[in-house]
Amino acid sequence: MTARPQCQPSGLYHLAIGDIMVTAVNDGTFQAGFDLIAGIDHEECERLERASFRPVPPKMTMNAFLVETGGRRFLIDAGCGTSMGPTLGMACRNLGHMGVGPADIDAILVTHLHPDHVNGLVDDGGQAIFPRAELWVNEAELQFFRDPASPSHAPAETFEFFEGARRATAPYADRIRTIRDGSVAPGVTAITQPGHTPGHTGWLIESGTDAVMIWGDVVHMPSLQMAAPQACTVLDIDREQAIATRRRALDMAAADRLRVAGIHMDFPCFGHVDRRGEGYAFVPDVWRATV
């Protein structure tokens, strides 16, 4: 293991959770649009974004998370790779800033099999970037994306995701570990958060009296979807279930004062959820120059 970090380098943010080190690893940002959002009209989307001092049209952040515990390194999601433009695919480069290379990763803990989360598993030639890492994937998620009938039950906007998931996971076929809810390693618990996809998974990291819940796509546009949890996306496999999952996740975080982070939370992305009227708001942790 590398020495415990002492400061915050660019593109990384370290957070000690008891004896576990969790590092947010920025993968970049991209220009999004409200065409991604369903359930509320675009005028309301714009109003909510502007009320939170967000740019319109909105930008979306991509992150991954390095979890170092018990002499092992786990990476939660692998980012976009080179598939989604020049402002993305920075996760491996940023990991390199702390002396961690692809060969140092023991397992990739997948939130779900959409391209912005798993395309970073392979290079342009479809070869594995992480030479020895296992893939830990929710059993229902893997089954859904392998089932030839699944695209007929999915939004048209996601049809190409199925081939992308097969391409990204193919080089790891002999080192895929399917998981269900529960502890998967000391201090690391898988929690299914279905709706966006059937096996969409959050990862709860706990050590001592501290914890952080790392979300996948519970929210895509944090300010908007926290203020209006009924705002779903056109990519959700089951929109009603995705809304219910989001409300449950936000309510639990607010009620339990549980620190959260997420793949699409604004970097450095650690903070808490506060109830605000009929909705919620994100209260970011105060940035610390030292760890």
Query: What domains are defined for the chain?
Result: 12-284 (3.60.15.10)
**Residue 76: Cβ-neighbour burial (10 angstroms; 0-12, 13-18, 19+):** buried
pLDDT by residue (tens digit) across 174-199? 999 999 999 999 999 999 999 999 99
Residue-wise DSSP of 20-34: EEEEEEEEEEEE--G
Is the pLDDT at 7 greater than 70, yes or no? no
Residue 32 has pLDDT above 80, yes or no: yes
- Can you tell me the mean pLDDT for 112-135? 97
Q: What is the pLDDT of residue 149?
A: 96
Helix axes 159-169, 139-146, angle to 10 degrees: 110
Place of tokens 């199925």: 162
Q: Are strands 12-17 and 20-31 parallel, antiparallel or unpaired?
A: antiparallel
Q: Which token pair is 207?
A: 């050590």
What integer is the mean pLDDT of 169-178?
Answer: 98
Q: What is the pLDDT of residue 1?
A: 60
C-alpha distances in angstroms, 117 versus 173, 251, 289? 17, 25, 28
Give strand ranges (E) for 18-110.
20-31, 37-38, 59-69, 72-76, 107-109
Q: What is the mean pLDDT of the chain?
A: 95
- pTM to 2 decimals? 0.95
Average pLDDT over residues 64-89: 95
What pLDDT, in 10s, does the model give residues 229-287?
A: 999 999 999 999 999 999 999 999 999 999 999 999 999 999 999 999 989 999 999 98
pLDDT of residue 53: 93
Q: What is the pLDDT at residue 8?
A: 63
Burial 194-230 (b: 16+ CB within 10 A, else e): bbbbbbbbbbbbbbeeebbbbbbbbbbbbbbbbbbbe
Give the tens place of pLDDT for each residue, 39-54.
999 999 999 999 999 9
Residue 124, pLDDT > 70, answer: yes
